[in-house]
Amino acid sequence: MTRVYRSLVTNVCKEMSCYSDFPFREDYPNFMSHEKFWDYLREFAEHFGLLRYIRFKTTVLSVTKRPDFSETGQWDVVTETEGKRDRAVFDAVMVCTGQFLSPHLPLESFPGE
């Protein structure tokens, strides 16, 4: 979970915050704590069998086009979890960094002004 403060409450009602094919349970409050929303996301992932595709506490070390990318469109992805490196091939890659990412701006190699 991202950094949030303890008393955080959503500012959008549950009817507007849920996935269309997985509404919040009736016992969920209309505006909920971050913990309750996290519970909802976990329930969603469990319901649709998504947890097997998610790797928590994993760092992506590199994402590169495969040598045959022009034919396959595939990517090589190297990750590390608890000191163990893993390499996998994917048809697609999504970069979802969140709003608190510290940007990497290699200004020393930028030729413009």
Give the model confidence (pLDDT) of 34-59 as tens digits. 899 999 999 999 999 999 988 889 99
Let me know whether 59 and 43 are in one domain.
Answer: no
Is 31 a member of any domain? yes
CB 43 within 8 A of CB 27: no
User: Tell me, what's the pLDDT at 88?
Assistant: 96
Let me know whether 65 and 44 are in one domain.
Answer: no
User: Tell me, what's the pLDDT at 8?
Assistant: 82
% of the chain with per-residue pLDDT over 90: 62
Task: Enter the pTM of the model.
Answer: 0.63
Is 33 a member of any domain? yes
Indicate the SS3 state at residue 61: strand
User: Tell me, what's the pLDDT at 7?
Assistant: 83
Let me know whether 21 and 37 are in one domain.
Answer: yes
Distance (Å, rounded) from C-alpha 59 to C-alpha 55? 9
Let me know whether 63 and 82 are in one domain.
Answer: yes
Domain containing residue 67 = 55-90
Q: How confident is the model at residue 96 (pLDDT cuts 50, 70, 90)?
A: confident
